[in-house]
Amino acid sequence: MDYVRSDRGSSGPRLPLALKILIAGGFGAGKTTLVSALSEVRPLQTEEVLTSVSIGTDDLSGVEAKTTTTVAMDFGRITINEDLQVYLFGTPGQDRFWFLWDELAFGALGAVVLADTRRLADCFPSIDYFEQRGIPFVVGVNCFDGSRRFGIEAVRQALDLDPEVPMVLCDARDRQSAKLVLISLVEHVARQRGEPVPVA
Ligand SMILES: Nc1nc2c(ncn2[C@@H]2O[C@H](COP(=O)(O)OP(=O)(O)OP(=O)(O)O)[C@@H](O)[C@H]2O)c(=O)[nH]1
Ligand SMILES: [Mg+2]
């Protein structure tokens, strides 16, 4: 697998390898929430309050209670063991921050695309982005309270996903649930590369 850095000279301190995983999806799909649930360090967030200036630009239908939005990225970290860390980068959800994506995606192992079934079409651009660049991804269907529940196969059809792309129902606020999404991504990447699938 590719790593962000593999700085392991024989002299000097041993530095852990770092895997980079992107958390993407539409505006308000739960990216910041998922990174916060998973990160062992206080996540770096770049949240700004949504003001009346963004009316007409940021579509709040379905997420009317939302008061802030990510304007650059979220960053979190998970230590797997002393040799391996996972860095999580949450992408900004709005179209006007697309210019940041190529920087964020550089060297990434893969991505989680969070889908909100109340606004499914919002995750199409993320899916297109990773498909076009050949970056492996899984889809996490974030189950918001009160949102209509759809069967996983109905969502797969609506997203027109390749059959091998894993889909996982999740609750972005729940660490255990969020971990299962990451595990499905790592297994998917291993399968794609013909490497042994790690035991969770
Ligand atoms: N009920 C429920 N609420 C959630 C869940 N995930 C996120 N939320 C709430 O949904 C709102 C939006 O979540 P964020 O994590 O800010 O979404 P985001 O994708 O980072 O949004 P942007 O950065 O603006 O694109 C917050 O108020 C969260 O508390 C979930 O799984 N269930
Ligand atoms: Mg956010």
pLDDT digits (tens, 9 = 90+) for 161-175: 999 999 999 999 999
pTM, to two decimals: 0.85
184 has a pLDDT exceeding 90:
yes
The SS3 assignment for 69 reads strand
Q: What is the atom index within ligand 1 of the atom nearest the CA of 36? A: 15
Which residue among 33, 57, 67, 168 has the greatest number of ligand 1 atoms within 8 angstroms of its CB, and so is best to mutate?
A: 33
Between the CA of 29 and the centroid of ligand 1 the distance, in Å, is 6
pLDDT band at 100; cut points 50, 70, 90: confident
Per-residue model confidence (pLDDT) at position 135: 96
Q: What is the atom index within ligand 1 of the atom nearest the CA of 29? A: 19
Over residues 22-81, the pLDDT tens digits come to 999 988 899 999 999 999 877 777 777 776 555 556 666 666 666 777 766 789 999 988
Backbone φ and ψ of 88, nearest 5°: -105, 130
pLDDT band at 2; cut points 50, 70, 90: very low
Q: Is 59 exposed, middle or buried (0-12, 13-18, 19+ CB in 10 A)?
A: middle
How many angstroms separate the CA atoms of 46 and 186, rounded? 27
Per-residue model confidence (pLDDT) at position 93: 72
Domain 3-7+15-193 has CATH 3.90.740.10: no
Over residues 111-123, the pLDDT tens digits come to 999 999 888 999 9
Nearest CA to ligand 1 atom 23: 70
Which residue among 32, 45, 48 has the greatest number of ligand 1 atoms within 8 angstroms of its CB, and so is best to mutate?
A: 32
| Average pLDDT of the chain to the nearest whole number | 84
Give the residue extent of every domain in the chain.
Answer: 3-7+15-193
- The set of protein residues with a Cβ atom below 6 angstroms from ligand 1 is 25, 27-33, 66, 69-70, 92-93, 142-145, 171-173
